[in-house]
Amino acid sequence: MILMSFFKRCLLIVVLILSIGTSSQGFELKKLLFEGGIQFEEPAVEVSWRDLVQYDYKKKIIPPRLQAIEGRLIRVPGYVVPLLGDFGGDFESLQEFLLVPVYGMCIHVPPPPPNQVIYVKMNEPVEVEKLFDAVWVTGQLQIDVSELPNTENLNYAPEGGFSLSGVKVEIYERDASN
Amino acid sequence: MLFKLAWLSILNRRSTAFLTIFSIAISVALLLGIEQLRKSMRNSFLQTVSGIDLVVGARGDAIPILLYSVFRLGEATNNLRWQSYLEWAADERVEWTIPLSLGDSHRGFRVLGTNSDYWRHYRYGKERKLELKTGEFFDGLYDAVIGSVVAEKLKYQLNQQIVIAHGAGSAALFEHDDQPFRIVGILKPTGTPVDQTIHVSLEAIEAIHIGWEDGFPSTQTGKPATMNISELQPKSITAFLVRLSSRMQTFRVQGEINSFEKEPLSAILPGVTMQKLWQILGTFERTLMTVSALVVLSSLTSLISLLLATMNERRREIAILRSVGAGPQRIFVLLWIEATLLCFVGGLLGFVLQYAGLMAVEPMVKNQFGLQLFLEWPGKEEFLFFLLIMSIGMMLSLFPAWRAYRISLHDGLLPKI
């Protein structure tokens, strides 16, 4: 330290302070990586909606490809439909949302069938800035085939759907793997 | 040793130094204060209601439905039949519902007709319930429960009698003055439109509108005392809030309500709609942030210009320092430390000022504007903000320090002032 002149020492301190001051973005990145209770022992399996759509919700048949990944950590792209969870509508801390393959599905008639929507509950609230952009969601997949309790009103078929205990949300970048 | 020198130098020029510190403090307080206000404004909008999966009203667009049902702004084009509401409330997939009936007002505040489901289920923010400050929830036919802003602005107390007017204007031209209401409860402040609402039972809304079928009072009105509650079954409501037992059913139930054959209804997704609405309001938020950032930048620049301006006076001082052996680099560092110290003290003072200011202003803001300030202990974000401001200040301080460095190279012991 004594070898460096005063000038250089000051410059070093300035650079240090500046880097701390502007690394607030870096803090957020770190938060995204080390989130959730699930440790990343296994890499997440990338799943496409073409696989998910194979689930026959009427006959409740889960094809083998989906059976293999049920309960495992998967990574699936989609558009976020925010839900007013127990934390209100603040999407700086969004905890529950639905993931759909096509943007604007919430206004479509008919509504998306159960094999085209994933209910995601994040372990930690995430910030989803732009809800128009597609995202990758990583989490543990559950396929719920439970029936709703018996009722005289059988206007709707008993059905179940996909749910995900979400660990990570990332912006969808168009890459070669797709 | 340099620190001590810098400190003494500042002490020597106390008054100017204090002015500089104060101006930085004010602008830092302004920036942080506006950031707090922005967060509170955002929270009080986005956290107006939570735990709701669908909002259902007569057929219409999503944003107006959200505005009149949750934010109590604007009017619905039509009501929906009580029978339709009952059918959907009884659906297997629905966990609970809250019926809402709007259309009347009292001295500019909206009157909401609802039932005990409202008190049981309504949540806002992070699972916060509606709580009473005094009194109780409504029981009798003409009981009213008012929000905190209503009580503050109109100076209402428990057991006071109020008269409800038809329509939403503040000057009541048609009043239901034959059937006054009695305030039985006052709610704690929530920071949501609940504070500006007067709550009565659904039956009461029916009662006051008997004889008003044409929209204004007929010459014969039913005697209130002889009506019993059973006759006052609501015939229609304005909207209802729905919570489903499973969120996975959201799209399905929404689709079925939208294609309900017995009546044209619209079920909206409150989360999506709020986000769309926020897009419009978000520009105000971003403008606020830009304004406050510019304020801080301007005051930091004034610090630099102040230091540069005093550079002339200090030429002799610098010359003296040089004569006792301080190299130009040390002069540079000395000036830089001085400017940084001023920034730092100013920043700290601004931080403290901001909290003090917000705490002082909080009751007024809550009562006058119904805006709840969510004041918390400084968190990671505030700390990073402070660090960012300090680093910019340190960067800008390099200019006067550089100037001093150049001066000290040129001047001899007798500078030509």
Q: B79-108, pLDDT tens digit by residue?
A: 999 999 999 999 888 999 999 999 888 888
- Look up the CATH number of the domain holding residue A156: 2.40.50.870
Evaluate whether residue A145 is within a structural domain. yes
- With bands split at pLDDT 50, 70 and 90, how would you rate the model's confidence at B118? very high
The parent domain of residue A137 ranges over 39-171
What is the pLDDT at residue B219?
Answer: 47
What is the pLDDT at residue B9?
Answer: 79
From the list A17, A84, A161, the residue facing B49 with the nearest CB is A84
Mutation target among A84, A117, A130, A164 for the B interface, most CBs of B within 10 A: A84
B92 interface with A at CB cutoff 8 Å:
yes
What is the pLDDT at residue A160?
Answer: 65
What is the pLDDT at residue B214?
Answer: 52
Which residue ranges in chain A fall short of pLDDT 70?
1-10, 17-42, 87-91, 104-110, 130-131, 145-160, 174-178
Evaluate whether residue A19 is within a structural domain. no
Evaluate whether residue A160 is within a structural domain. yes
* For range B134-149, the mean pLDDT: 86
- With bands split at pLDDT 50, 70 and 90, how would you rate the model's confidence at B174? low
- With bands split at pLDDT 50, 70 and 90, how would you rate the model's confidence at B242? very high
Evaluate whether residue A51 is within a structural domain. yes
What is the pLDDT at residue B99?
Answer: 95
Where is pLDDT greater, at A159 or B28?
B28
Q: Which phi and psi angles does A67 have, rounded to 5°?
A: -60, -35
pLDDT in tens, B143-156: 899 998 888 888 88
Q: B132, B144 in Cβ contact below 8 A? A: no
Q: Inter-chain contact A10–B395, Cβ cutoff 8 Å? A: no
Evaluate whether residue A154 is within a structural domain. yes
Evaluate whether residue A49 is within a structural domain. yes
Q: Inter-chain contact A106–B127, Cβ cutoff 8 Å? A: no
pLDDT in tens, B341-358: 888 888 889 888 888 888
Can you give the three-state secondary structure of chain A, one letter per residue?
CCCCCHHHHHHHHHHHHHHHHCCHHHHHHHHHHCCCCCCCCCCCEECCHHHHCCCECCCCECCHHHHHHCCCEEEEEEEEEECCECCECCCCCEEEEEEECCCCHHHCCCCCCHHHCEEEEEEEEECCCCCCCCEEEEEEEEECCCCCCCCCCCCCCCCCCEEEEEEEEEECCCCCCC
Name residues whose C-beta falls within 8 Å of residue B359's C-beta, 6 or more positions apart in sequence: B375
Q: What is the ipTM of this complex?
A: 0.72
Evaluate whether residue A4 is within a structural domain. no
Q: State yes or no: pLDDT of B71 exceeds 80.
A: yes
- Which element (helix H / strand E) includes B123? strand B123-124
3-state helix, strand, coil in chain B (%, to 5): 55, 15, 30
> What's the predicted TM-score (pTM) here?
0.75
Evaluate whether residue A18 is within a structural domain. no
Q: State yes or no: pLDDT of B217 exceeds 70.
A: no
Give the number of domains in chain A. Answer: 1
* For range B240-254, the mean pLDDT: 88
